[in-house]
A and B are shown apart, each in its own frame.
Chain A
Amino acid sequence: MQRIFGLIKDRVGALLADGTVDRVIGWEKGEFLYDHTPAIFNAEDDLVDLVYDGFCASNLSKYLIDESKKDGKILALLKPCDTYNFNQLIKEHRINRDNVYVLGIECRGMLDIDKIRALGIKGIEKVEEQGDELYIQTIYGDKTCKRNEVLLEKCINCKGKEHVAYDELVTSGEDIPQVESNRFEDVEKLEAMTSDERFAFWRGELSKCIRCNACRNVCPICSCVECVFDNKDSVVASKANTDEFEENLFHIIRAFHVAGRCTDCGECSRVCPQGIPLHLLNRKIIKDINEFYGEYQAGQDTNSLGPLTDFTKEDVEPSIITEKGGEK
Chain B
Amino acid sequence: MQKIGVFVCWCGSNIAATVDVKAVVDAVSHEPGVVYATDYQYMCSEGGQSQIRQAIKDFGLTGIVVCSCSPRMHESTFRKTAISAGLNPYMVEIANIREQCSWIHKDREDATEKAIILARTAVAKLNLNRPLTPGESPVVKRALVIGGGIAGIQSALDIAEAGYEVDIVEKSPTIGGKMAQLDKTFPTLDCAACILTPKMVDAASNENINLYTYSEVEDVSGFVGNFTVKIRKKARSINADICSGCGVCTEKCPSRKAKDEFNMGLSNRGAIYIPFAQAIPNVPVIDREQCIKFKTGKCGLCEMNCPAGAIDFKQQDELVERQYGAIIVATGFKPISLENFDEFSYSQCPDVITSLELERIMNAAGPTKGKLLRPSDNTPPRTMVFVQCVGSRDTSGCGKTYCSKICCMYTAKHAMLIKEKYPDIDVHVFYIDVRTPGKNFDEFYRRAVEEYGVNYIKGMVGKVAERNGKLLVQGSDLLADDQIIIEADMVVLATAIEPDESARNLATMLTASIDTNDFFTEAHPKLRPVESPTAGVYLSGVCQGPKDIPETVAQASAAAAKVIGLLAKDKLRSNPCVASSNEMLCNGCSTCENVCPYGAISYVSKEIRSAGKMEVRRVAEVNEAICQGCGACTVVCPSGAMDLKGFTNKQIMAEVDAICR
**A interface list, Cβ under 8 A from B:** 69, 92-94, 223-228, 231, 233-235, 257, 261, 305-306, 308-309
Contacts and interface: CB of A to CB of B under 8 A. Distances in A.
B639 A225 contact: yes
B478 interface: no
Contact of B587 (A225, A234, A306): A225
A92 B587 contact: yes
Nearest to A92: B589
A302 to B, nearest CB: 11
Given A225-B639, A228-B640, A234-B640, A309 B594 contact: yes
A309 B636 CA distance: 7
B595 interface: yes
Contacts of B638: 224, 257, 261
B618 interface: yes
A234 B591 contact: no
Contact of A309 (B591, B603, B617): B591
A234 B636 contact: no
A228 B586 CA distance: 11
Report which residue of A69, A92, A223, A226 has the largest number of chain B beta carbons within 10 angstroms of its beta carbon: A226
Contacts of B650: 233, 235
Nearest to A227: B639
Given A93-B618, A231-B640, A224 B587 contact: yes
A93 B594 contact: no
B594 A94 contact: no
Contacts of B615: 69
A249 B231 CA distance: 54
B579 to A, nearest CB: 15
B588 A93 contact: yes
Nearest to A222: B638
B587 to A, nearest CB: 5
27 contacts: A69-B615, A93-B588, A93-B589, A93-B618, A224-B585, A224-B587, A224-B638, A224-B639, A225-B585, A225-B587, A225-B610, A225-B617, A225-B639, A225-B641, A226-B584, A226-B585, A226-B639, A228-B639, A233-B650, A234-B640, A235-B649, A305-B594, A306-B591, A306-B594, A309-B591, A309-B595, A309-B636
**Chain B interface bracket (under 10, 10 to 19, 20 to 34, 35 or more):** 20 to 34
Contacts of B588: 92-94
Contacts of A308: 636
A140 B617 CA distance: 55
A88 to B, nearest CB: 10
Residue from B589, B590, B618 with most neighbouring chain A CB atoms (10 Å): B589
A308 B632 CA distance: 11
B593 to A, nearest CB: 9
A94 B589 CA distance: 7
A94 B638 CA distance: 13
B616 to A, nearest CB: 9
B653 interface: yes
Nearest to A234: B640
B589 to A, nearest CB: 4
Contacts of B594: 305-306, 309
A98 B591 CA distance: 22
Contacts of A235: 649-650, 653
Contact of A225 (B586, B591, B653): B586
A224 to B, nearest CB: 4
Nearest to B656: A235
A263 to B, nearest CB: 15
Nearest to A311: B595
A231 B617 CA distance: 19
A234 B649 contact: yes
B601 to A, nearest CB: 12
Given A225-B639, A228-B640, A308-B636, A94 B587 contact: yes
Nearest to B582: A233
A231 B594 CA distance: 25
